């Protein structure tokens, strides 16, 4: 009976020893093994043999890409504008022993490193550049942290600027600025329109004045020619002239009689004598 019990204990110890010495690592993971509290080796995917009771799996690390969400934070630009920025980083652990022994918490360390670098990069840019240069910020951010995390056995696959927007206060200020700019442009456009209209109106008046002056010159020349021809035609005979002047005189009196302001029209008794008097005045 005692021998059977001892055999059973020995069989249990053998099975336990084999179980402790044989380790199966799943695909996409690596196990860090310590021997007597000191780093010994890293186990890859598949079946692995370690020394029972001496070796111990201390850390289980994934080798798949890890997506790290970088929390939003307030960042001050070069021109003292406040914006809200956050990012997302994609990392891969290529040396698990460095990741677990090189830094206490690599996730927290990378998060703080990205946030610090992002504040530094955006702090050297103006507001407009920061809002429109995501690719430039991404490139600088990747270059800034890649070397640092490589010492921890971690590769930065990429980092993306997920969101970068002005703070609520800055958005209100930008909206007011945009409204003021639109109002300024409208005022300038209206002033330009009024100026153009005034210029066109002045040019119209100038053109009309020139045309009036040209018409008066033409009329004056026509009158001159008419007078010359009349002078040549009468050749000292006053009768045609008296007839023409009499006709004009009668027309003028008729127009005067039709005027609202003229209530009484007095005609001379001897119209021919009056016309001769006018001609005499012209000869003098």
The model's pLDDT over 238-269, given as tens digits with 9 standing for 90+, comes to 555 565 666 666 666 666 666 666 555 555 54
Grade residue 8 by pLDDT with cuts at 50, 70 and 90. confident
Q: Which of the two residues, 219 and 281, has the higher pLDDT score?
A: 219
Range of the domain at 53: 2-62
Assigned domain for 147 exists: yes
As a whole number, mean pLDDT of residues 115-123 equals: 91
As a whole number, mean pLDDT of residues 135-147 equals: 90
The verdict on 115 and 148 lying in the same domain is: yes
The verdict on 28 and 121 lying in the same domain is: no
The verdict on 71 and 55 lying in the same domain is: no
The verdict on 48 and 110 lying in the same domain is: no
As a whole number, mean pLDDT of residues 161-181 equals: 72
Lowest mean pLDDT among 108-117, 199-208, 253-262: 253-262
Q: Which of the two residues, 154 and 238, has the higher pLDDT score?
A: 154
Grade residue 282 by pLDDT with cuts at 50, 70 and 90. very low
pLDDT of residue 273: 61
Number of structural domains in the chain: 3
Comparing C-alpha atoms, which of 109, 17, 86 is closest to residue 55?
A: 17
Lowest mean pLDDT among 96-105, 220-229, 246-255: 246-255
The verdict on 72 and 165 lying in the same domain is: yes
Lowest mean pLDDT among 12-21, 173-182, 212-221, 269-278: 269-278
Asked whether the beta carbons of 153 and 94 are under 8 A apart, the reply is yes
Percent above pLDDT 90 for the chain: 26
Which residues, 6 or more positions from 271, have their beta carbon under 8 angstroms from its beta carbon? 246, 249
Residue after which a domain boundary falls, among 12, 35, 62: 62
As a whole number, mean pLDDT of residues 103-131 equals: 89
pLDDT of residue 284: 47
Lowest mean pLDDT among 37-41, 124-128, 144-148, 250-254: 250-254
Assigned domain for 26 exists: yes
Assigned domain for 194 exists: no
The verdict on 38 and 98 lying in the same domain is: no
Assigned domain for 186 exists: no
pLDDT of residue 131: 82
Assigned domain for 138 exists: yes
As a whole number, mean pLDDT of residues 150-161 equals: 91
Which residues, 6 or more positions from 237, have their beta carbon under 8 angstroms from its beta carbon? none
Q: What are phi and psi of 162, to 5 degrees?
A: -75, -40
Give the Cα separation of 80 and 75 in Å (integer): 9
Assigned domain for 212 exists: no
Mean pLDDT of the chain: 80
Query: What are the b/e assignments for 192-227, b being 16+ CB within 10 Å?
Result: eeeeeeeeeeeeeeeeeeeeeeeeeeeeeeeeeeee
Is residue 198 pLDDT above 80, yes or no?
Answer: yes
């Amino acid at each position: 009976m005692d021998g059977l019990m001892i055999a059973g204990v020995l069989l249990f110890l053998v099975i336990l020893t084999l179980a402790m010495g044989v380790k199966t690592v799943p695909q996409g993971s690596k196990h860090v093994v310590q021997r007597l509290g000191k780093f010994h080796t890293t186990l890859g995917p598949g079946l692995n043999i370690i020394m029972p009771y001496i070796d111990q799996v201390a850390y289980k690390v994934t080798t798949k890409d890890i997506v790290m969400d970088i929390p939003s934070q307030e960042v001050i630009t070069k021109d003292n504008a406040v914006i809200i920025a956050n990012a997302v980083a994609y990392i891969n652990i290529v040396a698990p022993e460095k990741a677990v022994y090189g830094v206490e918490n690599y996730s927290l360390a990378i998060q703080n490193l990205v946030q610090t670098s992002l504040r530094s990069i955006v702090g050297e840019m103006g507001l407009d550049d920061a809002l429109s240069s995501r690719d430039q910020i991404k490139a600088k951010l990747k270059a800034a942290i890649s070397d640092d995390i490589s010492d921890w056995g971690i590769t930065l696959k990429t980092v993306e600027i997920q969101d970068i927007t002005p703070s609520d206060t800055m958005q209100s200020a930008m909206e007011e600025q945009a409204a003021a700019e639109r109002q300024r442009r409208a005022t300038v456009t209206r002033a330009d329109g009024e100026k153009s209209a005034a210029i066109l109106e002045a040019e119209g008046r100038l053109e009309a004045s020139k045309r009036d002056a040209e018409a008066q010159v033409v009329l004056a020349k026509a009158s001159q020619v008419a007078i010359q021809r009349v002078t040549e035609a009468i050749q000292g005979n006053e009768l045609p002239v008296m007839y023409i002047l009499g006709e004009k005189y009668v027309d003028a009196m008729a127009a005067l009689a039709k005027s609202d302001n003229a209530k009484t029209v007095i005609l001379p008794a001897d119209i021919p004598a009056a016309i001769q008097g006018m001609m005499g005045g012209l000869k003098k």
